[in-house]
C-alpha cells in the first residue's frame, strides 16, 4: 500500500473513531446537577434556637442568599408534665435491677423530657408555624426519642411493625390534639400549618428496624434520613418506595477515622480528646438559671463547656471535615451533602457556630442549593433514571478544583488490640502504620501516658474503681501532635476474678448513629435539647 493510501485510510479510521467518541459522549453526559446542601435540626425544644435559625435565614435572604432548613420535631415538646400521660411509648429499654443486673423493661414517659408549660408550648407552635410559612420544612423525629433499633450481643429490643405503628399514630394524635390538650387557642385557622405537609422522617438515635419501613408510606412519609452512607452517595428508593437521604461517614483529612456528619457524634469523639488534654474541664463551674454555682459538665461523653482554646480547636476540626465533604462533592459527582445538628450548644457553642459559618461559606456559591429535603425529593423525582445514574457516575462536565479546595489524604491506619491476663497489646496496621513520628498514648480516666505498645493491667487497676468497668482509650498522634487514630476498649469488672478485656472497639458505635444522650436534659441554655 502506498504512503498516500495508508494516510487516507488512517484519516478515515480516525474520523470514524471521532464520530463514535462524540456519540458516546453525548449519550453518557448530562447537564451538571446543582449541589444540594441539606441543613437539618433534630429535636425542637428550644424556642430561642428556633428564633435564631429563622432570623439567620431571613438575614441571608436579605443578602440574596436563599438558605432554608428542615426541622425534625418531637411532639413530646407539645405536652407538659400535666398531660404527659397522653403519650404511651412502645418498646422496651434496658435498666439495672436492684442486684445490678441488666434487664429489659417497658418504655415509660419520654427519653428527652417534655414541654414546660402552656406558654412555652404556645410559643413553640408559633415558632414552627412561622418557620413553615417562611419556607422551612417540618419533618418527624418520632415522639419520645426512644431507640427503636437497639440490639447488642445479648439483647434484641428492636421495634416491631406494631411498635412503629403505635409511635406514628401517637405522633399525629398529639399534633391533632395539641390545642385542646393544652387549652391553647388557635392563632391560625388551620392550627398547625404543617400538619398535612410532613413527608420526611429521621429515627431517634438513627435507630431503625425492619418494622419501620412498611409503616412510612402508610403515614405519608416519602423519605427517610436515618441511615449512613458514603459521601458521594446519590439517593435511591427502597422496596417500599421511600427515598433514602442518608447522613455521611466523612473520611478524616490527614487522619484515619470517619466522622458522621452530625454534631453529637463529633461531641463524643471530641470530648474524649479534650479530657485527655485538659482533664480539669470536668471542674468548670457556671451559674444555673436560679443563680446557683454548679458544674458545667455533668457527664464526660459530651461536654457542654470547654476552654476557649479547646472550643477553637473543636470548631476548626468540624469546619475542616465539613469543607472536605463539600469540596469532594461540589468538584466531584455532586451527591447531596447532609448536615444534621441539634438545638444544643455543646462545646461552648462550637458546633452551633460551625453550622452557621459553614452555611455562610457554601450557600452563596454558584450552583449550590441550600434547601429543604422536600426540594431534594422533587429534584430526584423529576430526574430520569438515566440522569440519576449519570450523576452517580459523575459523567458530566465537572468544575475544575482549585488548589485552595484540596485536602490532605485520608490515612490507611488501624489500631489493633490483643490481651491476656496481664497485658493489653497495642499495634498499628495499614499502609500508613510506619509513618515517621507516630506516638501512641493510653488514657484511663484523667490519667494519660505514652506507651510503646504494651499496657500493664496493673496500671489500669491503680486508677480505676474495683469492680467497675474502665474505658481504656488508645490514641495515635502524628509528628505535629495531632490525633489521627483512636480506639476505646472496656476492661470489665476491674480488679475482680471476673475481670476481662472486651475486644470490641466501642468507638465503632460512634460511627453508627447519634446516641440517646444526644437529647439528655441538662440545666443550661438549651436544657440539653
Q: What pLDDT, in 10s, does the model give residues 353-399?
A: 999 999 999 999 999 999 999 999 999 999 999 999 999 999 999 99
Work out whether strand 293-295 and strand 285-287 pair parallel, antiparallel, or are unpaired. antiparallel
Is the pLDDT at 420 greater than 50, yes or no? yes
> What is the rounded distance in angstroms from the CA atom of residue 526 to the CA atom of residue 343?
7
- Give the model's pLDDT for residue 289: 86
Q: 289: closest CA among 525, 40, 2, 24?
A: 525
Instruction: Note the pLDDT tens digit of each residue in 433-483.
Output: 999 999 999 999 999 999 999 999 999 999 999 999 999 999 999 999 999
Instruction: Note the pLDDT tens digit of each residue in 50-92.
Output: 999 999 999 999 999 999 999 999 999 999 999 999 999 999 9
Instruction: List the grid coordinates of 382.
Output: 423529576
Residue with cell 391533632: 176
> What is the rounded distance in angstroms from the CA atom of residue 443 to the CA atom of residue 489?
11
The pLDDT of 303-317, averaged and rounded, is 98
> What is the rounded distance in angstroms from the CA atom of residue 437 to the CA atom of residue 64?
48
- Give the model's pLDDT for residue 126: 98
Torsion of CA 337, 341, 345, 350, to 10 degrees: -20
Q: 332: closest CA among 434, 381, 405?
A: 405
Q: Confidence band (pLDDT; 50, 70, 90) for 512?
A: low
Sign of the dihedral defined by the CA atoms of residues 274, 279, 285, 289, in that order: positive
What is the DSSP-derived secondary structure letter of residue 279?
A: G
Q: Confidence band (pLDDT; 50, 70, 90) for 513?
A: low
Q: 216: closest CA among 239, 194, 192?
A: 239
* Phi, psi dihedral angles at 512 (to 5 degrees): -110, -20
Q: Can you give the residue ranges of every domain in the chain?
A: 1-30, 35-255+334-345+363-404, 414-498
- Packed helices 118-133 and 161-182: angle between N→C axes, nearest 10 degrees: 110
CB count, 10 Å around CB of 288?
13
Q: Confidence band (pLDDT; 50, 70, 90) for 29?
A: confident
**Contact (CB, 8 A) for 221 and 167:** no
* Phi, psi dihedral angles at 265 (to 5 degrees): -65, -35
Chain centre distance of CA 345:
15
* Phi, psi dihedral angles at 132 (to 5 degrees): -65, -45
Choosing among 3.30.310, 1.50.10, 3.40.1350, 3.20.20, the CATH entry for 35-255+334-345+363-404 is 3.20.20
What is the DSSP-derived secondary structure letter of residue 151?
A: B
> What is the rounded distance in angstroms from the CA atom of residue 201 to the CA atom of residue 215?
11
- Give the model's pLDDT for residue 523: 29
Enclosing H/E stretch for 369: strand 368-369
Q: Confidence band (pLDDT; 50, 70, 90) for 509?
A: confident
**Contact (CB, 8 A) for 224 and 285:** no
* Phi, psi dihedral angles at 432 (to 5 degrees): -100, 10
- Give the model's pLDDT for residue 19: 39
* Phi, psi dihedral angles at 426 (to 5 degrees): -110, 130
CATH topology of domain 414-498: Immunoglobulin-like (2.60.40)
Is the pLDDT at 528 greater than 60, yes or no? no
> What is the rounded distance in angstroms from the CA atom of residue 379 to the CA atom of residue 39?
17
Sign of the dihedral defined by the CA atoms of residues 120, 126, 129, 130, in that order: negative
> What is the rounded distance in angstroms from the CA atom of residue 413 to the CA atom of residue 104?
38
Q: Confidence band (pLDDT; 50, 70, 90) for 153?
A: confident
Sign of the dihedral defined by the CA atoms of residues 85, 89, 95, 98, in that order: positive
Amino acid at each position: 500500500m502506498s504512503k498516500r493510501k495508508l494516510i487516507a485510510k488512517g484519516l478515515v479510521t480516525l474520523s470514524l473513531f471521532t464520530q463514535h467518541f462524540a456519540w458516546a459522549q453525548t449519550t453518557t453526559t448530562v447537564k451538571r446537577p446543582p449541589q444540594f446542601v441539606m441543613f437539618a435540626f433534630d429535636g425542637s425544644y428550644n424556642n430561642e434556637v428556633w428564633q435564631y435559625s429563622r432570623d439567620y435565614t431571613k438575614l441571608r435572604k436579605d443578602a440574596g442568599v436563599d438558605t432554608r432548613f428542615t426541622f425534625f420535631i418531637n411532639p413530646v415538646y407539645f405536652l407538659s408534665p400535666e398531660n404527659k400521660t397522653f403519650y404511651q411509648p412502645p418498646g422496651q429499654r434496658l435498666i439495672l435491677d436492684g442486684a445490678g443486673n441488666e434487664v429489659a423493661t417497658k418504655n415509660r414517659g419520654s427519653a428527652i423530657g417534655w414541654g414546660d408549660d402552656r406558654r412555652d408550648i404556645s410559643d413553640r407552635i408559633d415558632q414552627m408555624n412561622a418557620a413553615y410559612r417562611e419556607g422551612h420544612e417540618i419533618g418527624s423525629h418520632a415522639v419520645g426519642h426512644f431507640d427503636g433499633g437497639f440490639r447488642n450481643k445479648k439483647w434484641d429490643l428492636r421495634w416491631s411493625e406494631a411498635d412503629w405503628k403505635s409511635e406514628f399514630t401517637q405522633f399525629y394524635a398529639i399534633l391533632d390534639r395539641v390545642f385542646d390538650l393544652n387549652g391553647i387557642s388557635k392563632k391560625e385557622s388551620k392550627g398547625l400549618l404543617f400538619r398535612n405537609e410532613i413527608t420526611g422522617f429521621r429515627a431517634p438515635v438513627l435507630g431503625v428496624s425492619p418494622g419501620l419501613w412498611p409503616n412510612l408510606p402508610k403515614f405519608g412519609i416519602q423519605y427517610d434520613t436515618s441511615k449512613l452512607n458514603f459521601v458521594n452517595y446519590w439517593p435511591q428508593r427502597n422496596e417500599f418506595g421511600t427515598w433514602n437521604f442518608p447522613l455521611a461517614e466523612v473520611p478524616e483529612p490527614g487522619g484515619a477515622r470517619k466522622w458522621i456528619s452530625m454534631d453529637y457524634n463529633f461531641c463524643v469523639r471530641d470530648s474524649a480528646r479534650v479530657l485527655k488534654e485538659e482533664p480539669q474541664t470536668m471542674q468548670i463551674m457556671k451559674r444555673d438559671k436560679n443563680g446557683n454555682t454548679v458544674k458545667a459538665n455533668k457527664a464526660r461523653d459530651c461536654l457542654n463547656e470547654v476552654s476557649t482554646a479547646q472550643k477553637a480547636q473543636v470548631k476548626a476540626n468540624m469546619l475542616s471535615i465539613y469543607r472536605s465533604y463539600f469540596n469532594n462533592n461540589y468538584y466531584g459527582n455532586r451527591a447531596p451533602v447532609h448536615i444534621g445538628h441539634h438545638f444544643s450548644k455543646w462545646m461552648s457553642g462550637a458546633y452551633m457556630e460551625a453550622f452557621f459559618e459553614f452555611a455562610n461559606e457554601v450557600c452563596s456559591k454558584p450552583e449550590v442549593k441550600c434547601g429543604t429535603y422536600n426540594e431534594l425529593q422533587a429534584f430526584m423525582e423529576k430526574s430520569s433514571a438515566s440522569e440519576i445514574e449519570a450523576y452517580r457516575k459523575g459523567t458530566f462536565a465537572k468544575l475544575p478544583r482549585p488548589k485552595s479546595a484540596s485536602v490532605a489524604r485520608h490515612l490507611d491506619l488501624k489500631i489493633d488490640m490483643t490481651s491476656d491476663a496481664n497485658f493489653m497489646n497495642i499495634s498499628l496496621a495499614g499502609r500508613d502504620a510506619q509513618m515517621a513520628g507516630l506516638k501512641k498514648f493510653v488514657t484511663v480516666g484523667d490519667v494519660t501516658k505514652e506507651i510503646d505498645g504494651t499496657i500493664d493491667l496493673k496500671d489500669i487497676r491503680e486508677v480505676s474503681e474495683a469492680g467497675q468497668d474502665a474505658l481504656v482509650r488508645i490514641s495515635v498522634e502524628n509528628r505535629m501532635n495531632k490525633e489521627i487514630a483512636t480506639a476505646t476498649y472496656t476492661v470489665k469488672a476491674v480488679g475482680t476474678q471476673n475481670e476481662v478485656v472486651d475486644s470490641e472497639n466501642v468507638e465503632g458505635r460512634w460511627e453508627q448513629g447519634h446516641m440517646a444522650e444526644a437529647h439528655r436534659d441538662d440545666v443550661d441554655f438549651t436544657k440539653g435539647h
